[in-house]
Amino acid sequence: MKIFKKILFFLPFFLAYLPLVSSQNFYRISCDFSIKVKKNDGTAQLTMGKVYYDCNFRKLVYVLSFPQKEIWINTSEQLIKIAQGKAPVKQSVPSILEFTVFQLAMNGQLSDYGLKNSSFTVEEVEKEDNQIITTWKLPTKYSKKFGKIMTSVKDRQLYGIVFLDTKGSVISKQFFDNYILISGLSFPTEIIQISYIVDDKGTKENYQLTNFKNVIVNEKSNENYYNYTIP
C-alpha cells in the first residue's frame, strides 16, 4: 500500500506558504476514484474506492474498496490508516489539505494551482497556441532550496503544471483533463502525473492516472464519512 501515498498527489515543497481560503459556495465534495500506477520497474497497481472531503472538518477520507477494504484519513497533521481487525496506524505528515484538487477546485483557485495566493510570484507569462504558460518563482531567500513552477491554462482551466528543481530540471508533471461542471463547480475528472527519478543509470519515469466519477458537491448526507471519527 505504499503506492497509495501518491493518491494524495505529490506534496509540493511550497505548501507551507499557501493559506486556506474558505469557499462561500462549496464546502464539501465526494466522488468515486481509481488510481492506476505504472512504476519505472514495470510493475503496475490499481487502487479504487471513494473519497470524501469537507473543508470545515479538514479531513480527507479515502474509503478503499480495492485491492483491499481500508480507510485512510488525512488530517492537517496525520495520516491514519484503518484496516478491519487491526489497530489504526498513525503517522505524522505535512499538511496537504489546502493543496488538494478538491480544496483548490472548491476555492476557485485550481486555475493557478493556488499560487496566486502564495509566496510565489509571476516571473514570466507567455502564450503558446491556445495555452497561457506562467512561470512562478519564490523569493530569493528560498530559491536555493526550491525550484520554479510552470502552469499551463487552456480555456481558463488548469491544463498542466510542471515542478522544477533549483537547477531547472523537471521533477514531476501533472495534466488535468476532462473537466465537468457540477452545480457550478468546474472539476477535472482525469489527472495524469509523471514523476522523474534520476540515478546512476539515467532518468526513470513513474506514471499515475487518476480518474474521478460520480462527483457530488455539498452533499447533505454521509456525515459519518465527511467527519469520520478517528479511533
Find, among 217, 8, 216, the residue nearest to 99 by Cα.
8
Q: Is residue 10 part of a domain?
A: no
Q: Is residue 95 part of a domain?
A: yes
The residue segments making up the domain with residue 71 are 28-220
Stretches where the chain sits below pLDDT 50 are 1-24
Question: Looking at residue 99, what is its pLDDT?
Answer: 84
Q: Is residue 119 part of a domain?
A: yes
Distance CA 53, CA 56 (A): 9
Distance CA 173, CA 191 (A): 10
Q: Is residue 81 part of a domain?
A: yes
Question: Looking at residue 4, what is its pLDDT?
Answer: 39
Q: Is residue 1 part of a domain?
A: no
Q: Cell 530559491 appears where?
A: 143
Q: For residues 131 and 117, is the Cβ–Cβ distance under 8 A?
A: no
Q: Is residue 229 part of a domain?
A: no
CATH number, residue 116: 2.50.20.10
Find, among 169, 171, 151, the residue nearest to 160 by Cα.
151
| Structural domain count, the chain | 1
Q: Is residue 56 part of a domain?
A: yes
What is this structure's pTM? 0.86
